[in-house]
Each structure stands twice: as C-alpha cells, then as structure tokens.
C-alpha cells in the first residue's frame, strides 16, 4: 500500500507551532514510506476564511520545506460532493432536519428530568428534540441536518472499529472498537449540514479524505473522540477507513493547547525573529 497523508488547516488565522508539528509529522511519515503528502484548504466557513491567511499558509509551509502536488483541494469548491453525500444519507433514512437553536438545546439538555447535560465530541449532546418530528419526503435545502445515530447504527451493526497508529488521549492504540450504545448516548445526533454552509467538518473531512485517497490521517489527539463519527459515516457511505494517527498537542507555557489566536506562537513571528526551519523542528520535538 502506498501511504498518502495530508495536512488540512483552515485559513482563518496564522499557522502556529502546533500546525507545524502536525504538517511536518504527516510529511515525514509519507516521505519515509515513499508515499505522498497532500495539502487541503478547509475553507468551508467562508465567514471566517480569508485569502490572505491561505496565502500565508502556503508561504509558511513552503518555508518549512514542505512540498505537495498541485492543485490544492479547497473545500469551498466541493459543495456538490458534500450535497451528493448528504443525499445518499437522506436516502438511507439516517438524516433529519433540526430547527433548534443553541439556546433550545442547552435548555432542553439541562431540564431537571434530564440531569446534568452530557458532553460529547461536539459539546452538549443533542437531546433529540427534532428527531421525533415527521420527516419531509425531500431533503431540505439550507437547513441544519443531523445524523440519527441510532438509525445509523441499526444499519451498521453493534459497533464500528478503526486502527489507531498513534496514541489516543488515554493511551489508546491498535484496534479501537466503539459500540452503538456509546455512539448513541455519548456522541449523539451530530450536525452534518449547517445552515448557509451546506456541510460540516464531520461530513466534509470524510468525503475529502476518500476523494484524496488518504490512507493515514495524522491529526491532534483533540480529534480522537470524533474519529468514531467519521468511521460511522465511512460505513454508511461505503468509503474506506484510513489508519488514524492522533499525536500529542503542542501547548503553551501554561499547558493550554495552541489556537490560531495565539499569535505569539505563530510560525511567521518566529521567521521574522530569525528562526530556521530546523529551529522549528527542534521547538516541536521533531529533532
């Protein structure tokens, strides 16, 4: 098998040391195996994506010594692919429209009879308010669509599994099995299409990884819990499940993981201060 890895940032701010670690790790993994490293721009949120950040992203990654095949896949150009995947899921009967606001969800989940709200990979687990409503015959356009996790797992079976080649947050490694009960009650009915966006991270990442033939997904340990959602979608859509490698997160001096707002850890700032690509590798522990 020829290894294909990818780095898929969102152009919504400057790349920081955490991005550098993930991109370099993925590129090294592919190079050492004689495989291919790909770049993808996850610019589906056009309210936050900016051309200048995308240009800076390419500039920083090139400076780090990374190369990739052209053209770069851009999510904003793949809305039809996401729509087709949603149509396939709708035909399976595992999607339903949702009109709840965040406030509605928070209040329903915090109702006295419900106890303390359960938190899943996407925050407060959806209490299922719209699941019981009659489903329209045709898939709505420009509405929030949720995955009916219980219906999905009835189609798939008692569990889903994937291979973890790195380490999950609690040291998970090897074949990871996630049960239908866990997915239904601890993950819940996640959003697969957002209003004015036409997709979601969960749907687009699954469709795009398959389209690019990604064999090994390299990403931070903060996304480990979302992986079972992605495997569910791969099973429903008939797509291959890659090997997953979740890596440690690069944190600041207070132990918080880096975010795009952490300009003090931006690659561009280190460049201006005279750092070299080798210095960056040393900072993130790759030397």
pLDDT digits (tens, 9 = 90+) for 178-190: 999 999 999 999 9
- For residue 251, the model assigns a pLDDT of 72
Is the dihedral angle over the CA atoms 215, 199, 161, 166 positive or is it negative?
Answer: positive
- For residue 72, the model assigns a pLDDT of 97
Spans of the chain, pLDDT less than 70: 110-117, 252-264
Q: Which helix (H) or strand (E) holds 160?
A: strand 159-164
- For residue 118, the model assigns a pLDDT of 81
* Backbone φ and ψ of 251, nearest 5°: -120, 160
- For residue 192, the model assigns a pLDDT of 97
- For residue 123, the model assigns a pLDDT of 87
- For residue 56, the model assigns a pLDDT of 95
- For residue 169, the model assigns a pLDDT of 85
- For residue 265, the model assigns a pLDDT of 80
* Backbone φ and ψ of 190, nearest 5°: -75, 155
**Half-sphere exposure at residue 243, Cβ-oriented, CA atoms within 13 angstroms:** 17
- For residue 247, the model assigns a pLDDT of 94
Domains of the chain: 1-77+250-287 (3.40.50.620), 78-243 (3.40.50.620)
Its pTM stands at 0.92
CB within 8 Å of 196: residues ≥ 6 apart: 142
Q: State how far the Cα of 135 lies from the Cα of 236, in Å rounded to an integer.
A: 19
Q: Which helix (H) or strand (E) holds 59?
A: helix 51-63
């Amino acid at each position: 098998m020829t290894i294909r890895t990818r780095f898929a940032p969102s152009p919504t701010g400057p790349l920081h040391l955490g991005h550098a670690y993930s991109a370099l790790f993925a590129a090294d993994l592919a190079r050492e195996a004689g495989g291919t490293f790909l770049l993808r721009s996850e610019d589906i949120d056009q309210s936050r994506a900016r051309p200048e950040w995308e240009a800076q992203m390419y500039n920083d990654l090139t400076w780090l010594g990374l190369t990739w095949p052209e053209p770069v896949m851009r999510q904003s150009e793949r809305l039809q692919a996401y729509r087709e995947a949603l149509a396939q899921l709708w035909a399976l009967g595992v999607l339903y429209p949702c009109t709840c606001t965040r406030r509605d969800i928070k209040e329903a989940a915090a109702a006295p009879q419900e106890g303390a709200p359960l938190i899943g990979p996407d925050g407060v687990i959806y209490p299922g308010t719209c699941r019981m409503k009659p489903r329209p015959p045709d898939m709505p356009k420009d509405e929030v669509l949720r995955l009916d996790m219980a219906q999905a797992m009835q189609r798939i079976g008692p569990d889903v599994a994937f291979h973890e080649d790195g380490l999950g947050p609690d040291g998970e490694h090897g074949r990871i099995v996630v049960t239908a009960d866990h997915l239904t009650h601890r993950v819940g009915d996640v959003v697969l299409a957002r209003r004015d966006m036409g997709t979601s991270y969960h749907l687009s990442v699954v469709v795009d990884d398959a389209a690019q033939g990604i064999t090994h997904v390299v990403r931070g340990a903060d996304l480990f819990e979302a992986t079972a959602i992605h495997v569910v979608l791969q099973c429903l859509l008939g797509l291959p499940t890659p090997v997953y490698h979740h890596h440690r997160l690069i944190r600041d001096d207070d132990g918080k993981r880096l975010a795009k707002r952490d300009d003090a850890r931006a690659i561009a700032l280190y460049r201006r201060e005279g750092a070299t690509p080798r210095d960056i590798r040393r900072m993130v522990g790759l030397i």
